[in-house]
Chains A and B, each alone.
Chain A
Amino acid sequence: MNEGLVVVVRAIISFFTLLILARLLGKEQISQLTFFDYILGITIGSIASEATVDLSSRAWPHFIGLVSWAVLAYLMQYISLKWRYAAKLIEGEPVIVIMNGKILDNVLKKMKFRVSDVLELLRNQGIFDMNEVDYAILEPNGSLSVLKKPEYLPVTRQDLKIKAKPTGISTELVYDGKLIKQNLRQMNKDEKWLMNQLKKHGINDVSEAFLVLINDAGSLYVDKYDDDIKNVKDIGDYKGPY
């Protein structure tokens, strides 16, 4: 038996199966991890690694285990989506731990959270003075959402009565030297217009541009492959091997 070759084949199978299942479970797995999601991720990863290297059993039972866990996770997501009661039971719900600037110590006790943990989470958000906090909510994924008191919120254009021009999000027109025609059409522009704009930046062909972005306000960001930077600043502080 060529164990190396078998491991490579099983690794390819596990890798792509895991990729497909992770995409099936959606972005929620990454951005909104609850404690259970975290354990789920570890378990699924562990099964995938066993499927790769545990040659004492066939890959098939591991594959079935992998798919079963992923399907169960998907079902749980679906049930949570359709049935609020189940969502509350399975995922928990956000809990206010600071209200009107006052720490709700009985809530902290219930959540098995220490005050020092709350202070740490506040410091992670750049809040070193408790007097700044109006509300703090402990989310199901363990993070803390904070609302500062109005007097400590950053000034906005609205406060200064300055009219802000909406910029919208940026859309890629050229990516890695390649024109994205679909996006160009979406922004109601054509290739002639784009080439005129690029000529202003010294670009005669789309392939010379590394990245071109346009926002809803019509403002263009152009980055060429040739950056004209002779000496790139070395920000390293230690003379290493290279």
Chain B
Amino acid sequence: MLKEVNVKKFLIYAGTVAVLVFFSLIMLSGNILKKPLGSDDDIPGAIENMLEAVENGAWNDASEEIGSLESAWNKVLKRIQFGSERDEINQLSKSIARLKGALEARDKSGSLMELHEAYMHWENLGK
């Protein structure tokens, strides 16, 4: 009977620790889950491609790539929202929106600024 009580006690303590560890993992998940898991959620990759396209004046390529960036962001957002700041998330969304405008206007300096800012916000997610 004493052994049973000890086992129950151990399970309770272990369970409590496991719950706290699980909570910690959720809260720290932002920095890990923002990284690309496949080919369709690669935000830094999309930003780099767009930087190259804008530098080279390939506006059509850049405009195509913005679609990939948006869908990648929508995918990543769903999984990082529990471990990231709302302001950082909103800032990245705003950067992407302004970037769309800059690309439509074929504004090289504006596009580059927004791309670098977007990358900075992505880096700050989950930190």
Chain A residues near B (Cβ < 8 Å) = 1-3, 5-6, 9-10, 13, 16-17, 20, 55-60, 63
Q: How far is the CA of A16 from the CA of B24 in the complex (A)?
A: 12
Q: Say yes or no: A59 contacts B20, CB within 8 Å.
A: no
Q: Say yes or no: A20 contacts B20, CB within 8 Å.
A: yes
B69, chain A: closest CB distance, angstroms:
17
Q: Say yes or no: A20 contacts B87, CB within 8 Å.
A: no
Q: How far is the CA of A9 from the CA of B23 in the complex (A)?
A: 10
Contacts of B3 in A (CB 8 A): none
A60 partner, pick from B16, B28, B77, B78, beta carbons under 8 A: B28
Q: Say yes or no: B90 contacts A1, CB within 8 Å.
A: yes
Q: How far is the CA of A145 from the CA of B28 in the complex (A)?
A: 49
Q: Say yes or no: A17 contacts B89, CB within 8 Å.
A: no
Contacts of B28 in A (CB 8 A): 60
Q: How far is the CA of A63 from the CA of B82 in the complex (A)?
A: 13
Contacts of B78 in A (CB 8 A): 2
B81 partner, pick from A1, A13, A17, beta carbons under 8 A: A1
Q: How far is the CA of A17 from the CA of B83 in the complex (A)?
A: 16
A63 partner, pick from B24, B87, B90, beta carbons under 8 A: B24
Q: Say yes or no: A17 contacts B87, CB within 8 Å.
A: no
Chain B residues near A (Cβ < 8 Å) = 16, 19-20, 23-24, 26-28, 30, 77-78, 81-87, 89-90, 126
Q: Classify the secondary structure of A's interface with B.
A: helix
Q: A20-B16, A20-B20 are in contact. Are A55 and B82 (CB under 8 A)?
A: no
Contacts of A63 in B (CB 8 A): 23-24, 27
Q: How far is the CA of A13 from the CA of B16 in the complex (A)?
A: 13
Q: Say yes or no: B90 contacts A17, CB within 8 Å.
A: no
Q: Say yes or no: B16 contacts A55, CB within 8 Å.
A: no
- Residue of B with least CB distance to A24: B16
Top 5 A-B residue pairs of the complex, sorted by shortest distance between their CB atoms: A55-B86, A60-B27, A59-B27, A13-B23, A1-B81
A56 partner, pick from B20, B24, B86, beta carbons under 8 A: B86
The 19 sampled A-B contact pairs (Cβ below 8 Å) are: A1-B77, A1-B90, A2-B78, A5-B81, A6-B82, A9-B26, A10-B82, A17-B23, A20-B19, A20-B20, A57-B85, A58-B84, A58-B85, A58-B126, A59-B82, A59-B83, A60-B27, A60-B28, A63-B23
Q: How far is the CA of A137 from the CA of B15 in the complex (A)?
A: 44
Contacts of A2 in B (CB 8 A): 78, 81
Q: A13-B26, A13-B27, A63-B23 are in contact. Are A56 and B85 (CB under 8 A)?
A: yes
Q: How far is the CA of A59 from the CA of B26 in the complex (A)?
A: 9
- Residue of B with least CB distance to A10: B82
Q: A20-B19, A20-B20 are in contact. Are A56 and B87 (CB under 8 A)?
A: yes
Contacts of B26 in A (CB 8 A): 9, 13, 59
Q: How far is the CA of A20 from the CA of B21 in the complex (A)?
A: 13
Q: How far is the CA of A55 from the CA of B90 in the complex (A)?
A: 11
Q: Say yes or no: A58 contacts B83, CB within 8 Å.
A: yes
